[in-house]
Structures are given as C-alpha cells and as structure tokens.
Amino acid sequence: MGFQPDQGPYSGGLSDQLGFGSLEGPGLGRWPQGPFPSHNKWEWAKSIIDKNPSKMIHARLKGSDTVMQAAVTAKCTTFVKNLITYMNEKEMDMDIRNKHGDTGLSIAAASGTVEIAKLFMDMEKSHKLTMIRDIYGLIPLGMAVQGGHKEMARYLWDLTDLKKSSY
C-alpha cells in the first residue's frame, strides 16, 4: 500500500464521484478528500512533487491517467496551470501519455476546454503536442473536430502544422 499521511485532512481518497483513487507506486499516497480543484490539493501535490518530481509527474492513477491528465479531465484549470508552470520550471516534458495515447492537450481538445489547451500551448512553444497521435491515429485537432468543439478546432488549427502530419 502507498504512503498514507497519518494526520490532517489528507488521509482519505479523492471523492468517489470523480473516480480517482490511489496513485500507483510506493510513497505516493492518496488524493486528499474532497473536490479536486482546490488550492489545498495543489499544495498537497506540490509537497510530494518537490520530494520526487519525476515520480509524481509520471505516477498513474487508477485507469492509467497521470495526475495532469486527471486534472485536465476534471477541468481543474487552476491545478493544471500550477502543474504546467511547475513542470516548465523543472524543464519536464508535457507529452506524457495514458494507455490510450492521450496527452493533457489531447484530453483538453477532446473535451473542448480551450482555456486548458491554451495553458499547454503557452508553455510548449514548439507546438509538438499538437502533432502527438493517440492510439487511433488522431492528433488533438482531429479530436476537437470529431467532438464537435468548433472553438477548440479553430484554436488548434492555427497552431497545428499539418505539413508535418503523415495524413
């Protein structure tokens, strides 16, 4: 069993309605109790990230998503912004994928969350995230179009170099 903080409000798992639970791997613990997008959750996550940045960034929640991907899925903009800023400061890659080949940007594209997509693209100047394909061969632009997210598709259209695509 992973690390379990023995005192304070961080001794339980994330609320069942979001479906997140234990992080996989020793010393990672459980999400704090309560709604995902709170300032306290970032402070808790940062305290663990500071101890071992690579472990926390690459840790998997149940279902194979990373902390970043879970936060994007839950549309927790402030948490995502804090995590992206932290990863950028530590010069860490933001192209970590889940078992479906999804990055944080592709999850934002599929859900139409433009604000979160902009956070990724503001930090990732090379725009390589726009060309990463999922296991079905879709790039984030394709995911946005497939999901009917017009605003997201327009945003990603200007950032995606389709000449680099193998289509």
- For residues 98 and 59, state if they share a domain: no
Contact 32/10 with Cβ under 8 angstroms?
A: yes
pLDDT of 110 above 80: yes
End-of-domain residue from the set 49, 65, 81:
65
Q: CA-CA distance, 127 to 130, in Å (whole number)?
A: 6
pLDDT averaged over every residue in the chain: 74
| Cβ within 8 Å of residue 15, ≥6 positions away | 33, 34, 35, 36
Whole-prediction pTM: 0.72
- For residues 51 and 101, state if they share a domain: no
For residue 35, tell me if it sits in a domain.
yes
pLDDT tens-digit map of 114-161: 999 999 999 887 789 999 999 999 999 999 999 999 999 999 999 998
Query: Among residues 145, 142, 141, which one has the least CA distance to residue 158?
Result: 141
pLDDT above 90 as % of the chain: 31
- For residues 3 and 58, state if they share a domain: yes
